[in-house]
Structure 1
């Protein structure tokens, strides 16, 4: 393979050719092969959130929350490390490596013998999943045509809840009296690796992102990759219209971007977009990790639901989270990103405030509390998924993986890592016959207000990225638009 040097310029139609493709089996391959990352994450967090290991290892509620926080801390570090590597070495290498890290660590968690061994294995599993987020989001957004990018990205992020439902289904048996207490939760940690092994072969058939190849001096390989994708589409009997030369980009590959230059791009060239990405990621991370990691503890401590039966209440909760992105996702491509993000964030925050009042007043039971969660997260799930879409598409291609990792790390550090630990302590000690509802009620109020603020920020700082090419949303660092009208080039390169 002959690679072009970084200084060599070339004209490329790769992005335009990818964006004009009709939907095909190739795009389903991308969804199935890469989208499993979110299913695995949902499965992992569900296994942990039901805390089947709590009694076996003698853990307090606060320590259960710490297990969740350590996993999220691993995701943060994994995203930062692998995010930079995926921008340097490509998407394809990384989504194979990160899956391997996850498979090994998650399997080892099933052999944990005390709190510290469990924390170690969960941390390493988090490293793998954090790396998955950066490589997978980058690859999906760069391979899916612009007309479908929003709904596809949001729907794939929503499949997290399919994995969570699978974990709950497994726990119905694994945490029941039919399985020894010290065995069931261990078996649960082996489910994810089994699923991951099944998709490794599938990922081998997904090519490197042609957009990444184009901007890294490998134009010939990028063209061959697009040729192959187009051949797959045409083999299905679909006719492809030629792409006019006016859509060509003048590409001059640039060296790898250093941290100082990256900071200047994020906060100098795109300050409002950086503020938008940070606020969206922090608010959804705080809400989700606070509720999801501790929902089983709430059902057990405030509503007297047994540990084995919490899964029954989780299924409708997961269904609402899954249906939100699936049913609302297309509106992010039609009604628009900014409007839909503001709507989903604000409405879910308001509904959480209402539920906090009813919870504090003692007017809810396990069923009505679950109904509230279902409705709240029907909207919050679509909004949270759009946060990952937003940070992936509003920055230059050469920084896509690092942008996802950077804002993911900030959000999890500011909201995600703190939330499970905080809410675990707000719930109080285990086996308390009359737990105080006030601390947790205020926790729900904080979560609701944070989500509303996220919606307001999205309304004023949001980017109308629907149905636009990634290169029109944020001009790649390596692209000169001399072949396009000046007005279009200026609009594409301008910060939000």
Structure 2
């Protein structure tokens, strides 16, 4: 690995201003990410109607019917297998992005999960539905890891936080679309197709877009230089430099950045004295944060029904709550590079716990919806901050592995959180879920507050050195 050359490329990137060309690349990457959010967040809106079609009955679920012995069959097994696939994809497939490049695996993962989703939409048994949901989850798990690494390496340090906030604003903007389509289409059939199948199929419009992104996006210059492809890296950075130069002005001289200290380039390096504390910190944090994030987002209609709201109304109210999804990262654009990422994460986690309690204890529809909206905004501020944060903590040669490893714990936690939410909902109702989420939020706050290093406006090479 040519670490000295990679450091020079990184220094040239980090002195660039926020140009239209760099923002264009952020938008293109975010467009690819929209299809994952479309596919993952449809879970909560489609689960009730899938259940009504009989695919969660014991006879249809096949081997997954065995979960009924612990009261978590039906929709909980569907959610469990989704996040099990996300876990496997994040943990075991993420090293492919360190070996074969960010762009290749980013586009490849989109094509994989959209194809699997299309096959899933035509399944006639619950067993087939769940197995293909697991297969799609492999692509979901890989794509989000690669997207974080990709953005962190392309965007200069001075506005990296805002780039992640814009990315999350764009990707979360698809969630209200999913909610609206579900509200409009799910209650009906079009020919032989039930509404929930059509909602899934509509996501496959992303297949030709993914093919176009393969041509429109450059590879990460940091990754190219680190793998000896210095001429390609130089060409990409030179193009970005030309777009930043205005008449009468010149770019500042690049800073001197330390070359990466490579060891093994394997998972074991993440547990070495240099990175073990960060790896452990982010692993524990991800176990906690996802309980609140997906414990609510993936179960919104079900939680509303549990509060006594009829199914039809729950879909309408879910759409209203979903409209708040882009607001969190949109607000983060104002503060992303003004405060440390760790502070943004801790404050938003505390607000999530508070708003979930309000959601559980409210007695009127307006109050329930209001707290649902507030929880969603806080959760997505947290999401924007921590996706930037975890990508900043690891060096380029193991960035995808590092992000994949720590993020995989959130996927595994979400798989069991889906089972836990189903259990608590059956045995304690929404208040029990609120307590469960509150405790996990507290754990996440403590671990970030105790061990989180500063990263704001710092070059990736300085953060990881």
Q: Distance in 1 between matches of 2:374 and 2:365?
A: 15
Q: Partners of 1:240 and 1:445 in 2: how far apart?
A: 56
Sort the Cα spacing of 1:456 and 1:183 in 2 relative to 1 into closer, same or farther, 3 A. same
1:177-218 CA distances to partner (integer Å, 9 max, x unpaired)? 464695211111112210342243134221111111122222
Provide the residue aligned with 2:305 in structure 1.
Answer: 300
Q: Residues 189 and 10 of structure 1: is their aligned pair in 2 closer, same or farther, counting only changes over 3 Å?
A: closer
**Offset, 1:304:** 3.1
TM-score using structure 1 length: 0.84
Q: Tell me: CA distance 1:202–1:28, structure 2 relative to 1, closer, same or farther (3 Å).
A: farther
Structure 1 CA distance for aligned equivalents of residues 3 and 188 of structure 2 = 67
Distance in 1 of aligned mates of 2:248 and 2:411: 43
Which one of the candidate residues 264, 269, 276 is aligned to 1:271? 276
Aligned partners of 1:11 and 1:248 also within 8 Å: no
For structure 2, the residue ranges without an aligned partner over 5 or more in a row are 58-71
Q: Determine which of 351, 354, 362 is the counterpart of 2:355.
A: 351
Give matches, 1:473-488, under 5 Å: 473-475=463-465
Question: 1:12-61 CA deviation, whole Å, 9 max, x = no partner?
Answer: 52112211222223223322221134422332233321222222234268
Task: Find the counterpart in structure 2 of residue 53 from structure 1.
Answer: 50
8 Å CA contact 1:70, 1:123 repeated in 2: yes
Q: Does 1:383 align with 2:382?
A: yes
Per the alignment, residue 141 of structure 2 pairs with 130
Aligned to 2:414: 416
The aligned counterpart of 2:336 is 332
Query: Quick one: which of 37, 40, 48 aligns to 1:42?
Result: 37
Q: Could you say which residue in structure 1 is the equivalent of 2:321?
A: 317
Deviation of the 1:255 alpha carbon: 7.7
Gaps of at least 5 residues in structure 1 are: 1-5, 429-435, 476-496
In 2, the alpha carbon distance for the partners of 1:181 and 1:207 equals 42
What CA deviation, in whole Å up to 9, does each residue of 1:462-491 have, x standing for no partner? 22211111111112xxxxxxxxxxxxxxxx
Query: How do 1:188-267 and structure 2 match up within 5 A?
Result: 188-234=199-245, 239-244=249-254, 247-249=255-257, 251=259, 257-264=265-272
CA displacement at 1:418 relative to structure 2: 0.8
Query: Counterparts of 1:164 and 1:64 in 2: how far apart (Å)?
Result: 20
How far residue 419 of structure 1 moved from its aligned partner, in angstroms, is: 1.3
Corresponding residue of 1:451: 441
Residue of 430, 434, 456 corresponding to 1:440: 430
Choose from 443, 446, 460 the match for 1:470.
460
Secondary structure class of the residue paired with 2:307: helix
Structure 1 residues 170-185: aligned runs within 5 Å: 170-177=181-188, 179=190, 182-185=193-196
- How far apart, in 1, do the equivalents of 2:250 and 2:81 lie? 49
Distance (whole Å) between structure 2 residues aligned to residue 88 and residue 285 of structure 1 = 28
Per the alignment, residue 291 of structure 1 pairs with 296
SS in 1 for 2:324: helix
Alpha-carbon distance between aligned partners in 2 of 1:462 and 1:7, rounded to the nearest angstrom: 29
- Which residue of the other structure, out of 21, 29, 39, is the alignment partner of 1:26? 21
Match of 2:104 among 74, 88, 93: 93
| Cα distance change on mapping 1:123 and 1:302 into 2, 3 Å | same
Question: What TM-score, normalized to structure 2?
Answer: 0.89
CA distance in 2, matches of 1:406, 1:472: 21
Checking the alignment, whether the CA contact within 8 Å between 1:12 and 1:250 is kept in structure 2 is yes
Distance in 2, matches of 1:460 and 1:375, equals 27
| Separation in 2, partners of 1:40, 1:12 | 33
Q: SS at the partner of 1:299? A: helix
Alignment length, in residue pairs?
449
2:32, 2:210 within 8 Å by CA — same for their partners in 1?
Answer: no
